[in-house]
Structure 1
Amino acid sequence: MAVFTPVTAADLETFLTRYDIGEATSFKGIAEGVQNSNFLLETTRGRYILTLYEDRVETAALPWFLALTTHLADKRLPVPRPIVDRQGFALQRLNDRPACLIEFVPGVSITDPSVAQSHEVGAALGRLHRAVDDFTAERANDLGQPHWPAMAGKCDGRTGSIDPALPDLIDAALAATTAWPSDLPRATVHTDLFPDNVLMLGGRITGLIDFYFACTDLIAYDYMTTHSAWCFSPDGATYHPARAAALAAGHAETRGLSAAEVAALPLLGQGAALRFVLTRAYDWLNTPADALVTRKDPMAFGRRLAWYAAATPDMVLGR
């Protein structure tokens, strides 16, 4: 269970005195998640998620994340709204951890996206990209292109122990992404819109969640991060062009990509795949085999990386 910091009934009762949300009727830990302690809270007035932020989250950035999700909720996107207390504050402290109450949104996370679901997430991503036009606060992407050589260096030359092909894939991608575009539109972007961060009911998106990797970066890079997550089999061995075409069609309905952005898609796809190769490789090499956290195979994105290196813009768009 992803509850690293326990919360007792007495802790909760004291905490809720800050809010005007009724009295607790049910409270339980949530198993999903690997970074924070999460609880489902039901009160006499509604349902909420209580999150205690653990050490892996950048505490100084929490006001920015909460401002962003509040902005998106105000724009009527399906983003859970942070709940403010009687003094108007969303960010709190509980049991020596930063904490926040967040609106509960119903829905089921996706495991094997369909073509129709890919279309819906493309449209939702475009709406998100439009909704941040007037969100001017910036946050640097500390997992972005300038950081990839250093991230690769932290793997200490051991990636070949994961797969013999991996070192060459990483070296080729690092070389290719030195030509990273600097003149494409930038905005606040999600950069982690994997299927398990999208909730759906009856074919309709009810929740876009987990904005803790959001930052200021290229809009088309965010598109390719989503593409890499939705348009391949989980092991990265099979590309699904029909999903890619649906993703592109949905995004075109709500925001769309310019000709310059389309031309850059294969390179941006290499960057998106490389970012996950590097973070997964580091975790793979540095997480003890008996740890409770399940390690994710870096080659699932290594195979995507190889595909993007050989792709054309039309292939990325599913044409």
Structure 2
Amino acid sequence: MAVYTEVSDAALTAFLSAYEIGGLLSYKGIAEGVENTNFFLHTTAGSYILTLYEKRVREDDLPFFLNLMEHLATRGLACPQPVRNRDGAALGRLCGRPAVIVTFLEGVSVKQPNADHCRALGKALAELHAAGADFGMRRENNLSVASWRPLFEQAEAQADSVSPGLAERTRADLAVLEASWPTGLPGGVVHADLFTDNVFFIGDDLSGLIDFYFACTDAFAYDLAICLNAWCFTPEGAYRRDMGEALIAGYEAVRPLDTAEVAALPVLARGAALRFMLTRLVDWLNVPPGALVQPKDPREYDRRLTFHRAAADARDYGLVR
């Protein structure tokens, strides 16, 4: 979440007039994140989140995301719900951007998760995968292995200015991952972006998941690998095996990994780290002038890749069998 597009009071008031959500009391830009423009709305009817879609989100993909959130909620998963206007449409346009209002989800994200948080996340991730089993739409993961080399080519010339030797390390990772990326693993709907700021807790209880705008159809174990990267490393790049063990155990309490998924986990985790390093690298080098956004540091994932290159099997990530 971030603010790239400024919205005037008059434009917002006109946009909201198509909805039955009361009168506008206040609104505020949300600076966290890197992908879309987001505002917190407070109206006489309650609280909402307004999102204007930017950058990597294609308008043709929005029905997938919005229908998925509605589907998951009917299966008992706590997540924001699109608010439809008086004409029954969830998707509108504001300041030249596709725009959606979603319900506000109570809870807070944890900045320093512990093993209990990771266990709860693992369970929620497996429940998400189960809840999406009968979702009728598909969306290709356009940030999977085939996209990584084109992303790197956008940043290759400047990569070493961010971290010495980054270009050569990335070339080596790409060669390994393109040759060994697994296929045929169990899959379906995945979130693909469950960082700590997209998971809410109330006290010690997980209260819901947000930001489904990278959701797609992919391997379930890849989604787990993304979470291992996002939740189980220190900022310095040290892997917290205790947290990985809790996350995997929480996941397997709902959906045990099969033999192929276990074997593929180190490659998937390395690939997930490379994917986020590359998108962060491109963003780091291309922040729009005047954007109220703090780009994420690609060097965090460069450090995590050091661990992944040395990992021998899933036990290094905390799998206990």
- TM (normalized to structure 2)? 0.90
Query: Given the superposition, is the C-alpha separation of residues 42 and 299 from structure 1 closer, same or farther in structure 2, using an over 3 Å criterion?
Result: closer
Q: Calculate percent identity across the aligned residue pairs.
A: 46
Say whether residues 1:209 and 2:210 are aligned partners.
Answer: yes
Letter matched to residue 123 of structure 2: A
Superposed CA RMSD in Å reads: 2.2
Where do residues 98-247 of structure 1 align in structure 2 (5 Å cutoff)? 98-177=98-177, 178-236=179-237, 238-247=238-247
Task: Measure, in 1, the Cα distance between the counterparts of 2:151 and 2:96.
Answer: 31
Letter matched to residue 100 of structure 1: V
Secondary structure (helix, strand or coil) at the match of 2:39 reads strand
Secondary structure (helix, strand or coil) at the match of 1:139 reads coil
Task: Measure, in 1, the Cα distance between the counterparts of 2:268 and 2:247.
Answer: 16
Partner residue of 2:77?
77
Task: Measure, in 2, the Cα distance between the counterparts of 1:3 and 1:147.
Answer: 24
Q: Would you say the 8 A contact 1:3–1:31 is kept in 2?
A: no
Q: Would you say the 8 A contact 2:221–2:268 is kept in 1?
A: yes
Q: Would you say the 8 A contact 2:32–2:294 is kept in 1?
A: no
Q: Would you say the 8 A contact 1:3–1:30 is kept in 2?
A: no
Partner residue of 1:313?
314
Cα deviations by residue, 1:160-189 (Å, 9 ceiling, x for unpaired): 332234234222321221211111112121
Q: Would you say the 8 A contact 2:196–2:231 is kept in 1?
A: yes
Q: Would you say the 8 A contact 2:3–2:292 is kept in 1?
A: no
Say whether residues 1:269 and 2:269 are aligned partners.
Answer: yes
Q: Would you say the 8 A contact 2:3–2:293 is kept in 1?
A: no
Cα deviations by residue, 1:39-64 (Å, 9 ceiling, x for unpaired): 22233332211222235532221121
Q: Would you say the 8 A contact 1:122–1:250 is kept in 2?
A: yes
Task: Measure, in 1, the Cα distance between the counterparts of 2:216 and 2:285.
Answer: 26
Q: Would you say the 8 A contact 1:242–1:318 is kept in 2?
A: no
Letter matched to residue 107 of structure 1: G
Query: Given the superposition, is the C-alpha separation of residues 29 and 112 from structure 1 closer, same or farther in structure 2, using an over 3 Å criterion?
Result: same
Query: Given the superposition, is the C-alpha separation of residues 83 and 148 from structure 1 closer, same or farther in structure 2, using an over 3 Å criterion?
Result: same
Letter matched to residue 42 of structure 1: H
The CA deviation at 1:114 is 0.7
The CA deviation at 1:123 is 0.6
Q: Which runs of 5+ in 1 are unaligned?
A: none
User: How many positions carry a matched residue from both structures?
Assistant: 317
- TM (normalized to structure 1)? 0.91
Q: Would you say the 8 A contact 2:244–2:317 is kept in 1?
A: yes
Q: Would you say the 8 A contact 1:190–1:213 is kept in 2?
A: yes
Q: Would you say the 8 A contact 2:31–2:292 is kept in 1?
A: no
Task: Measure, in 2, the Cα distance between the counterparts of 1:289 and 1:24.
Answer: 29
Query: Given the superposition, is the C-alpha separation of residues 81 and 140 from structure 1 closer, same or farther in structure 2, using an over 3 Å criterion?
Result: same
Query: Given the superposition, is the C-alpha separation of residues 148 and 264 from structure 1 closer, same or farther in structure 2, using an over 3 Å criterion?
Result: same
Partner residue of 1:297?
297
Task: Measure, in 2, the Cα distance between the counterparts of 1:258 and 1:229.
Answer: 23
Higher mean C-alpha deviation, range 35-44 or range 122-131: 35-44
With a CA cutoff of 8 Å and minimum separation of 6, indicate the structure with the bigger relative contact order: 2
Secondary structure (helix, strand or coil) at the match of 1:116 reads helix
The CA deviation at 1:95 is 3.1
Partner residue of 1:92?
92
Partner residue of 2:67?
67
Partner residue of 2:25?
25
Letter matched to residue 251 of structure 2: H
Where do residues 281-292 of structure 1 align in structure 2 (5 Å cutoff)? 281-287=281-287
Query: Given the superposition, is the C-alpha separation of residues 224 and 95 from structure 1 closer, same or farther in structure 2, using an over 3 Å criterion?
Result: same
Secondary structure (helix, strand or coil) at the match of 1:183 reads coil
Q: Which runs of 5+ in 2 are unaligned?
A: none
Query: Given the superposition, is the C-alpha separation of residues 289 and 296 from structure 1 closer, same or farther in structure 2, using an over 3 Å criterion?
Result: farther
Higher mean C-alpha deviation, range 266-275 or range 139-148: 139-148
